[in-house]
Amino acid sequence: MRKPAQNLCVYCGSGPGKNPIYMEAARGLGIAMVEAGIGLVYGGGSLGLMGEVAKTVLGAGGHVTGIIPEFLGTKERMLTGVNELIVTKSMHERKMTMFEHSTGFVALPGGIGTLEELTEISTWAQLGQHAKPIIICNVEDYWGPFLSLIAHMRAERFIRDGMEFRLDVVTSAAEVVPAFEHRLAKSQQTVPLEPLREIL
């Protein structure tokens, strides 16, 4: 299968979470991506939300690129049936490779790793290193505390003029693809990939 022109990187938990709606959101997002002809780039595991979105995309005939570091292959039970599997030497290389293979990013509910990925890709945007869409899927207000913290940072002027960045927030999986396509159409900045790897 040929890789789609647009590929959405999904950051999410390797566990199912407490609320069943989180897994429902992962499945809903996977179906919506396939229907829109958008490929999935994700962390390469088979467990939790991570595995659910990947298996859904594969089951619906979509394209999946899994990117996982060697040391997590067993812990997160690497999903080997994906269209493209990339095994990296480190977490840093994993995140950079995910960036290079993606045209946008979305965060579903997840833990510290998901939060770290979201904040890092947002920092790169804040520093002017990319203008790819970043979407938060705020299912059941899961990301509410994080969004409150961002608002607090702005109020305290640690996110100040000249240091702004764009986060699009939706409340359901069904809204992710339209938000991604809308933001992608508006983005006019193109940042070469190799210079970013060299800088970071």
Q: Which residue, 73, 70, 38, 75, is CA-closest to 53?
A: 38
Q: Average pLDDT over the chain, rounded to whole? A: 91
Distances (CA, A) of 125 to 118, 133, 162: 11, 9, 12
pLDDT at 79: 85
pLDDT at 192: 46
Query: What mean pLDDT comes out for the span 128-156?
Result: 96
Task: Name the pLDDT band for 164 (thresholds 50, 70, 90).
Answer: confident
Distance, CA of 17 to CA of 67 (rounded, Å)? 22
Q: Is pLDDT at 1 greater than 90 in this prediction?
A: no
Is the separation of the CB atoms in 119 and 130 below 8 Å? no
Is the separation of the CB atoms in 63 and 4 below 8 Å? yes
- 179: number of Cβ within 10 Å: 18
Find tokens 């040391």 and name the residue: 71
Distance, CA of 5 to CA of 63 (rounded, Å)? 11
Q: Is pLDDT at 200 greater than 60 in this prediction?
A: no
Is the separation of the CB atoms in 30 and 112 below 8 Å? no
Q: What is the CATH number of the domain that holds 98?
A: 3.40.50.450
Q: What percent of the chain has pLDDT over 90?
A: 76
5 belongs to a structural domain: no
8 belongs to a structural domain: no
pLDDT at 72: 74
Q: Lowest-pLDDT range, 59-63, 76-80, 144-148, 168-172?
A: 76-80
pLDDT digits 0-9 by tens, 11-52? 999 999 999 999 999 999 999 999 999 999 999 999 999 999
Q: Lowest-pLDDT range, 25-39, 60-74, 99-113, 162-176?
A: 60-74
Distances (CA, A) of 149 to 13, 152, 162: 20, 5, 19
- Per-residue tokens: 137: 């899927």
9 belongs to a structural domain: no
Number of structural domains (the chain) is 1
pLDDT at 191: 47
Q: Are strands 64-69 and 134-137 parallel, antiparallel or unpaired?
A: unpaired
Structural domain including 115 reads: 16-199
Q: Which amino acid is at 107?
A: A
Q: Is pLDDT at 113 greater than 70 in this prediction?
A: yes
164 belongs to a structural domain: yes
55 belongs to a structural domain: yes
10 belongs to a structural domain: no
Is the separation of the CB atoms in 186 and 132 below 8 Å? no
4 belongs to a structural domain: no
11 belongs to a structural domain: no
Burial of residue 86 (number of CB atoms within 10 Å: 0-12, 13-18, 19+): middle
